[in-house]
Chains A and B, each alone.
Chain A
Amino acid sequence: MAAKREPRIGLFLCHCGKNIAGGLDLEALAESSKGLAGIAYVTTHKFCCSEGGQAEIAGAIRGQNLDRVIVAACEPSLHLLTFQRCGEEAGIEPQFADLVDIRKWTMPGSPQKVDPGLALEESRKTVELAVKRMRLKRPVPLVTVKAEQAALVIGGGIAGLEAALDLADKGYQVHVVERQPTIGGKMALLYKVYPTNDCAPCILAPKTAYANIHPKIELLTNAEVRSVKGHVGGFRVEIVQSPRYVDTDTCTGCGDCVAACPRRVRDDVYAAGLGPRKAVFIPYDQAIPRKAVIDAANCLYFRNGTCRLCEKACLAGAIDFNQQPRTIGLSVGAIIVATGFEEYVPSAKTEYGFGRFGNVVTQFQLARLLDIDGPTKGRLLRPTDGREPRTIVMIQCVGSRDETAHPYCSGICCMYALKHAQIIREMVLPETEIHICYIDMRTPGKGFEEYYRRTRDMGILFIHGKPSEVAERPETKSLVVKVEDMDIGRPLELEADLVVLSCASVPPAGSEELSRILGIERDDSGFFKELHPKLRPVETRVRGVYLCGAAQGPKDIPASILQARAAASFADGELRRGTIRLPASMVKAEEIEKGGA
């Protein structure tokens, strides 16, 4: 057999201005790299990624007859594509262009920065390994595979629906998987949305309704993803749909079953734990699909074999106690993760008394109390005695910016506290005194600072300080909030009929399991991790799996919509040609059973 031709590798060492050159002796690195097996050419450049830098790389490929290229510079997620494209222009296949990070040891501010001597040593090791890898690398054959003209969207909130509608309008078949019995997500629970104070269902309903009738969208509610195999263009997805115990084809959504049901339980979703629902229920009036669902854990028939009143009341004969979980297999080309967030449960912050004191509620609970379709039909009443509160204290950053809970800023809580203060002042209880206790008011966003000013102008009182404790007066169930006003340097005790906690946004339950199923990462806070926080905020490390909305990190509705459209655009970009070129190894890998982490 003929001996394999020795590859001719070009090594390009980047100064990155002074980011690398300022932290190690690049000339020494170049000198020591020249003797490595396979190296045919070594040079340095001030900015390899610049037009001039790329021109020099392309020129060297042609002039020095190079067939492989390594750039030692920054993180591959930043510029690997740049150098792969540059190499391709000059005739080198993308798989034979590599980028290795030596900047992490030199750049001011990098957590891995070390002294110049050690930086040189570490860089030598990195370059040596990269050269060895590149020299021994065999060409990976590429194969063409069919790109399924279909997508899976996980999560039927505003972000997921926006992405689904975008792709469906472009002609793709879209399957939306939603864990709850209705689509709409958190936005359906908000009553109004800032900064326009539009009615949330009024601007959400057109989207949910369109998604419901769109010929290219299949809504799978009460369903969860169980497994995903395959690759971009050809993911095989297994979904399990839990039984509703109501046949959705025959159910008319009339509500006769709900009226007949004798079993009343606390509604933790649509009434946020502040009101009841029945064991058979329609989540809310504008729910899509507007079909009943039986909560088997509370249904008397499932608990002790009696009742069946709903069955007798249903003239359509839609009740079906024998429904079983259904497994659904799908083939899709791309997956969009839009699983959203949950409100932090503040019981762990015992100093604020949530769960112990009946008149301490969260902002999401307040939203339900203000909603005309909520448990109090829009009347703001104290949970303990149904009396209208004359004084309200809102506490910001509960569980957010808090080393004992979640260190990050949730970004949306300042604005929704302002929104609720405005709604109460303008529409609900104009005479009620409202205090907002804050560490910092954070209102970046178009029109948001003006919104904050307007709230101040309405006479809402702002106290610069985070309360240390909430105490209850047992006889009245009213509350006393202890806070030090940092602007005047004085401790205050605020009387409050109602205390509202602005809680952190946290990743929803099941995120860890989903990250395992999809093979994507989560960040330190538990939200799904993007490929690069600045330049690639929608992609994940699995090609063909994209993120949008609060699944990637706390964000508001406009930002979620923006990212949803971006995710749809990425999916379209991968699938639109109908075929995808992939390394043969990647296609083969799907056949191998997984047995990993």
Chain B
Amino acid sequence: MVEFEIFGNKDTRSGFGEGLAELGRTNENVVALCADLTGSLKMDTFLKENPERFFQVGIAEANMMGMAAGMTIGGKIPYTGTFANFSTGRVYDQIRQSIAYSQKNVKICASHAGLTLGEDGATHQILEDIGMMKMLPNMTVIVPCDFNQTKQATIAISKHVGPVYLRFGRPVMPIFVKPDAEFVIGKADVLTEGTDVTIIACGHLVWKSIEAAKILTEKGISVELINMHTIKPLDEEAILKSVRKTKCVVTAEEHMANGGLGDSVAQVLSKNFPAPQEYVAVDDSFGESGTPMELMTKYHIDTQDVVDAALKTIGRKG
């Protein structure tokens, strides 16, 4: 079991804010649009340093998405910022027609995704966004796991030409990705190598899976843990290489089981190497008010759920 160096505790949205601020200093074509959530999205530094490249659109997300599509015409790289719910479900058709189908170089940056938005409750806790975004042709879908990785991904997507959905969140979580790590879109990070079970996680569930891997290791189980930060394009090679070795898998995500990372992994396995799979994800349910950690426990996307799923999938091996 590899021990992880912890570089402090921060929220992933702050990683986005730092990445965007750095882009403001290094790439004059980057522009930012925000729908009345500048502080929540941590876009303040970019705004302060580049007021002429920051566009406050008000509470009008449909217009924001359309304007972002239009701003690519003439060479800008627009980053839109609002909550994940308003970045996807509210504006799905605008993204579909004006951005994805039109192949526009827009970076849709979505904070407060999933249950860990917390006390605001289910109206704001979108758990379907990965599914909606990954179904769109031309769309790249990225769910980084911690502050450092979110910062790195924010910068990396500026060099990718095409629409991107970047999903991050609100809770303060441990930082374990090295500050100087290179973020490669579509290339999974194998965090620990093992032989008994593969755990494939994204977003906040990567840290939960690290904690679970520690518990499993103490039980004598050899865990291969993969941080699947890019849901689309999916690193099929990494999945197959690992599961061919371990013969079973757990997928873990802060999203509905329907249509999320787990379903993407299942599709790869069913076509290439059928193997037992357990999902750690929300089971066809809206969320509710509560603290982020209470919600992760109640909706079974916590450390213990990853441990239980690992034991179960191992037990299903032939």
- Are A and B co-members of a single complex? no
